[in-house]
Amino acid sequence: MEFLESQAKPKDIFIERTSVGKKSADMNKRCRQLREQVLADAKFNALTVFRLLLSVGQFEFKLKEMFRHMLNEKENKWDEHKKEGTERMQELGEVFSGTKPLTRVEKNENLQAWFSEMSKQISSLSFDDSTSAGRKIVQLIQALEEVQEFHQLESNLQVKQFLADTRKYLHQMIRTINIKEEVLITIQIVADLSYAWTIIDSYTGYMQQGIKKDPSLVIKLRATFLKMASALDLPLLRINQANSPDLMSVSQYYSGELVSYVRKVLQIIPQTMFSLLARIIDMQTHQIKEVPTRLEKDKMKEFAQLDERYEVAKLTHSISVFTEGILMMKTTLVGIIKIDPKQLLEDGIRKELVQQVALALHKGLMFNPKARTSELMPKLESLGDRMDGFRISFEYIQDYVNIYGLKIWQEEVSRIINYNVEQECNSFLRTKVQDWQSIYQSTAIPIPRYQPVDESVNFIGRLAREIIRITDPKLTSYIDPMKAWYDVKTKQELVNRKLFQKLQRSVGTFGLTGLDRLLCFMIVKELQNYQVLLNRTVLNPKDKTWLDLLNNFAKQLNPVKGIIGNPQKVYSTMISRLGKLWPHFIDVILRVGQMQLLRRQIAHELSTSCKFDSKFLASTLQTFNDALMSDIEQHYQDPSLPYPKEDNPLMYELTAYLESAGFHDPLAKIYITTKRLPHFSLFNSLFVLSHLPKLVYSKSISGLTCKKLTDPLDGPPFVTGCITLLKQFHSENTDSFLALLGQYVRSTVNMLPM
């Protein structure tokens, strides 16, 4: 114990000299000078102190483990030594009785009786009464020494050995009886490291560098972490003595803090693993060729690439060594939290994976809106290569680090993308989803947030806005049979299905689904803007000029089934009066139509990949959806038939699956709730009629295209936007809208010469 105290005190003094009041001392010149003087006089070396801390921590840990083992085995050892001593006395008694032959030992009844009595005395020693047992053992040892001396038993080596063994067992019994729990308490007091709760962080760099050089250092660090747990003992003791109900919460908090520090220190292992993995990714992506299914004999040497494959094997071995290092730590109880090294390794790998993937997505999806040619396709190609490298290498090393690589990859990538989609969509919500409320954010494995570089919150917003920018209906023309966008002026193809295939490769199914969800929020915003515009202009209760104009025009058109005389003059007059309203509404309609077309392309890509990668899931979802829709239709025909209740999550959850698999129709979706608006159908029919002259039907593309390049208007987004708008209102509005257009066509045709 004296040795332990002599080792602990210098260690504590050195640690206290390193960092206590460092920040406050640096702020005061005199204190800083004094502190530097003390460090110089003490010849302080932080690395030496750190090594001493590790060695002492390991020594204390082993000492405690040994002492606890001795405490647990105390009674068993006592009984074992007592039994051995008793048996030897009995054997000596039998030897001097003459019944048991022993070389050159004569019968002696006095010694026989004395050894038999000694056997009974040893047998009568009680473990429970340690004080009296200890005194009695001392007397028995003295008696054995005296009998050996007075009766001249030294001449017989066998008897002498028996006596020596018995004394040895009695000595062991004294040592065993003196093993008390108070010694552990004394060690705990001497080894207390509570004052270093803050100081220890200054040694984190040394810990991480040491682990990087020698992963087995984790074994010594385990002892240091357990030593740090002593900081919890004193405050918790006082809280417990006060019978405070806060005992568990305080224990949980400080244990959690300590576990967080352990994670911080050991995070160097996943970081180092990923730095090695980056080299593996680079080699597998750019250097090592994929071996074809069939290979000609002459090309075997070319594809063997022995040096490159040896380097990959060497790097993989290094990764497995780091894994072995952290797994050596064994399951450890820190405070009241149990640390499983395998789980710690997995969490560390997840954390580093999240950091790397999030950074790759953040940096890989930055665009220059002023660039002459879009950077989208090259950046998606580069990001796709990076993500493929991550995934392939992660799957490659999963067996060497004993983790489920593909499962971790899918879970973490989906979490990153869903979190960023959630944060991007916050800008469209009144009640924001904060970090602590997000189901995707985690304290142990946090998803990093980066500063916005433009109007978007993060990469998913930048990606969506870049796609919208390069498919602008005023600059491009969408050709539906080709499923592609072309430049209006140069007629060059700008975007086709390859864009969505590259999106699938770079951001995956989760990214496409997240992009689709973000476009939904944008469409909702545009449709809400449409309502606001309509209510502020045409339906403004303070200025009924436009409403009265529509009322009078509606009377001219009645009955709708009739024919209007001189339709060119009637319609053109009304359209020209409303002309200054059209620019605001046409922008909204075109943006809605453009985003709907993008959603259709995303749905097509999702459904294609789902059918190809998971045909059973695709078939199951389609069959389930058809069966459910059939049941719902039958319920509306016969209300006595079953229908999912409001609290049944079936339809909500199935919808999420269907949208993720691309089995949905964006044009049939209702985005907003609406009220009945006066003359809504009439206003929209006039809106359509006012823009039809700008479009012309082209047989070569089987669709509408702009008539003049100076006044561009793309037909498909315009039609799709109008359909989406009408879908948000009652079907009566659509019927009325089509009836009004039909009246215009009949009236115009009627005026044509026969």
CB 445 within 8 A of CB 357: no
Q: Is the pLDDT of residue 595 over 90?
A: yes
Predicted confidence (pLDDT) per residue in 225-240, tens digit: 777 777 676 667 778 7
- pLDDT at residue 458, rounded to an integer: 93
Q: What is the mean pLDDT of residues 34-42?
A: 79
Question: Residue 695 belongs to what H/E stretch?
Answer: strand 695-698
Region at 679 (left for phi over 0; alpha for psi -120 to 50; beta for the rest)? left
Q: What is the pLDDT of residue 545?
A: 86
CB 126 within 8 A of CB 111: no
Give the pLDDT mean for 159-187. 82
pLDDT of residue 250: 79
**Residue 721 confidence class, pLDDT cut points 50, 70, 90:** very high
Q: Of the ranges 340-354, 460-474, 496-510, which one carries the lowest mean pLDDT score?
A: 340-354
525-584 pLDDT, tens digit each: 999 999 999 988 888 888 888 888 888 888 888 888 888 888 888 888 898 988 888 988
Answer with the residue of higher pLDDT: 558 or 281: 558
The percentage of the chain sitting over the pLDDT mark of 70, rounded to a whole number, equals: 91
pLDDT at 83 over 90: no
Is residue 11 over pLDDT 70? no
C-alpha distances in angstroms, 241 versus 234, 238, 244, 247, 694? 11, 5, 8, 10, 86
The residues with which 697 forms a beta bridge, in sequence order, are: 704
In this prediction, residues 586-590 reach a mean pLDDT of: 93
Distance between CA atoms of 689 and 683, rounded to whole angstroms?
10
Taking only the tens place, the pLDDT of each residue in 666-706 is 999 999 998 888 889 999 999 999 999 888 888 888 888 88
pLDDT of residue 336: 67
The CA distance from 523 to 671, in Å, is 8
What gap in Å lies between CA 673 and CA 638, rounded to an integer? 27
Structure confidence at residue 158 (pLDDT): 76
In the predicted model, what is the mean pLDDT of residues 42-70? Answer: 81
> What's the chain's average pLDDT?
83
Given a cut of 70, whether residue 101 has pLDDT beyond it is: no
**pLDDT value of residue 332:** 66
pLDDT at 355: 92
If phi over 0 gives left and psi between -120 and 50 gives alpha, with beta otherwise, what is residue 483? left
Lowest mean pLDDT across 21-35, 306-320, 590-604 = 21-35
Res. 172 pLDDT band, cuts 50 70 90: confident
pLDDT at 754 over 70: no
Pairing of strands 337-339, 332-334: antiparallel
In this prediction, residues 93-122 reach a mean pLDDT of 74
* Predicted local confidence at residue 15, as pLDDT: 45
Neighbour order of strands in the sheet with 484-487:
476-479, 484-487, 493-495
Contact indicator for 494, 486 with CB cutoff of 8 Å? yes
Contact in structure between 272 and 352 (CB atoms under 8 Å): no
Q: pLDDT of 310-352, one tens digit each?
A: 888 888 888 887 777 677 666 666 666 677 777 778 888 888 8
pLDDT for residue 17 = 45
Residue partners of 28: CB distance under 8 A and separation at least 6:
none
End-to-end CA distance of the chain: 120
What does the pLDDT average to over 149-161?
A: 69
Of 40, 38, 49, 28, the C-alpha closest to 202 is 49
Looking at the chain, the whole-number percentage of residues with pLDDT higher than 90 is: 28
Mean pLDDT of 701-729: 89
pLDDT (0 to 100) of residue 150: 64
Which residue type sits at 112?
A: Q
Smallest Cα–Cα separation from 36: which of 47, 25, 27, 46?
25
Report for 166-175, 250-259, 260-269: range of highest mean pLDDT: 166-175
Instruction: Please give the pLDDT value at position 192.
Output: 75
Work out the pLDDT band at 8, boundaries 50, 70, 90: very low
pLDDT band, very low/low/confident/very high, at 471 (cuts 50, 70, 90)? very high
pLDDT of residue 16: 45
Question: Do β-strands 695-698 and 703-706 pair in parallel, antiparallel, or remain unpaired?
Answer: antiparallel
> Which pLDDT band, with edges at 50, 70 and 90, does 3 fall under?
very low
pLDDT at residue 499 is higher than 60: yes
Q: Which among 248-252, 268-272, 655-659 has the top mean pLDDT?
A: 655-659
